[in-house]
Copies of this chain bind each other. A is one copy, B any other.
Amino acid sequence: MLSFDPSPARISTGLANEEKENPLSEQHPLWSIMHPRTIAWVGASNNPMKMGTIQLTNLLNGDYPGQVYPIHPTEETVLGLKAYPNASALPEVPDMAFIVVPTDVAVEILDDLGGRGVKRAVIVTGGFKEMGEEGRRREAELLSVAERHGMRFLGPNCIGIMHSRQALNTTMFPRFVMPGPVGLVSQSGSYVTQVQLYLQRRGIHISQAISVGNEASIDVVDCMEYLARDDDTRAIILYLESLRRPRRFFEVAREVTRKKPVAALYVGGTGAGARAGGTHTGAMAGDDRLYEALFRQSGVLRVNTIGDLYAVGYALACQPPLRGNRIGIVSHSGGPVTSMADACERQGLEVPVFSATLQESLQPLLPATASAANPVDLTFGFGQSEMMTAIPRRILESGEVDGVLIHGIMGSSYLESWVGSVEEKLGVSRAQIEEAQAKDVEELSSIPKHTGMPVICSSFMDRDQDNCTRLLQDHGIPVLDTPEQAAEVMACLGRSASLRKP
């Protein structure tokens, strides 16, 4: 089963021009942008209140191992790095340029970089297509300069990129999302940067994140193509306000979804959403039903909220597909199992009554007051070990269900209230209990691998509050905030699997 290192970014492989394990990937226009060995940085200064300065500060604080060449018209050094007055003064041709300059000099800067031989760029500068006719003209000019120099770029009006394993964070937020299996492409910068604490709190691990902005040169389709070739990325999630190339999206998505699952949130389908999106990135949104059909026919799972996009993406990346609609439910809590069962049925899933044989095989694992019929309600008890090991294993191995939902695995959050007494009276230390819990988590995380069927959990205690939640998430078992969300994510695993059928 997947297991992710939640420690800071591992910087080991794949700096551009250093290792060439996947030649196909390296030919992609995004390769050097996401794996730069050297970056020319235009727009940082020694003024800490400037956006470009904040972004460069974050990059440097994140221990980026490559070389950064600040370009600044007057400063000798920028944030302690030797600065260069223009691109021709650079000691070498950088793999890419990062541009955060005022709108009216952006074209000139790009031309200067192109003249020095720079082939890739990220343009954060705004004031283009999203700003009406004059902006559209400026954006066309930007693109024509780039084409003259054979350049490809992200943006303009984007927020940058994040690639934890490359220690590459060019956003305004100082933290890294946790390295993991979800590739994120977004027409909103906020959904790459501002969500970092949100994703961390929910144990959602990201391989690479790309903010595409106005998509003048590189668009969502290019990003999807690029991430399809990235071995770390097991599922791709897209935040969309519009598509520039719907036909090409269809062709590429149909291919990509044969290899890995793709989920999309599309918000341009309502009048209000389309108007807001137009102001945001200058795009024209399309009819909701057309997009709905486009997604369905290309095997892309459509979700309804940004929270669902991240949660479903993580489950798609970590768990096997749900190949039927029969769900087993396990918990010690009557309310949550009832909510889960109700939510399953509303989502088109079944919660079948277990056969007498299966119920009998579960009975020895349960207290006398428990129900083994499905939902399996263990009722109140201290032993949570069975919930993570024998019970889900027997249920999945029975062949009577296609996936299992578990609510309420709790470790340290509950332990805190009575471990003092336990140590005193029973001679079991907290460390011993937590060690046993870690083994149980490992066993649970091996079950989807062995059975080929998904397991999704929910807990009212998040990863900062409970060691089991954290361990489960880091072992690729999604733990959602509520029982209904777990049922919904499970249903999405089923829908995605149906859509991806050839």
Contacts and interface: CB of A to CB of B under 8 A. Distances in A.
Q: How many copies does the complex hold?
A: 2
Contacts of A272: 341-342, 344-345, 350-351
Contacts of A485: 305, 307
A482 B305 contact: yes
Contact of A335 (B48, B188, B271): B188
Interface string A258-270: 0000000101111
A275 B341 contact: yes
Contacts of A189: 333-335
A379 B126 contact: yes
A237 B197 CA distance: 30
A88 interface: no
A377 B483 CA distance: 35
A294 interface: no
B335 A239 contact: yes
Interface string A108-133: 00000000000000000011000100
A270 B342 contact: yes
Interface string A454-470: 00000011101100000
A447 B271 CA distance: 29
A336 B188 contact: yes
A248 interface: no
A276 interface: yes
Interface string A391-422: 00000000000000000100001101110011
A60 interface: no
A58 interface: yes
A136 to B, nearest CB: 15
A49 B484 CA distance: 31
A338 B273 contact: yes
Contacts of A51: 380
A387 interface: no
A417 B334 contact: no
A451 interface: no
Contacts of A418: 48-49, 54, 57
Interface string A33-73: 00000000000000111010010011000000000000000
A311 to B, nearest CB: 11
Contacts of A344: 272
B58 A408 contact: no
Closest 6 CB pairs of A and B: A188-B335, A48-B421, A273-B342, A280-B334, A272-B341, A270-B345
Given A174-B416, A194-B336, A279-B373, 13 more contacts: A48-B425, A186-B335, A188-B334, A189-B334, A197-B413, A239-B335, A241-B338, A270-B342, A270-B345, A272-B344, A279-B371, A280-B335, A464-B464
30 contacts: A48-B422, A49-B418, A58-B417, A126-B369, A127-B369, A172-B417, A174-B416, A187-B335, A188-B338, A190-B334, A191-B335, A194-B408, A194-B460, A239-B335, A267-B339, A267-B341, A268-B338, A270-B345, A270-B346, A272-B344, A272-B350, A272-B351, A273-B345, A276-B340, A276-B342, A279-B371, A281-B334, A304-B484, A305-B343, A306-B484
Interface of A: 47-49, 51, 54, 57-58, 126-127, 131, 172-174, 186-191, 194-198, 201, 239, 241, 265, 267-273, 275-277, 279-281, 304-307, 329, 333-346, 350-351, 353, 369, 371, 373, 375, 377, 379-380, 382, 408, 413-414, 416-418, 421-422, 424-426, 460-462, 464-465, 481-485
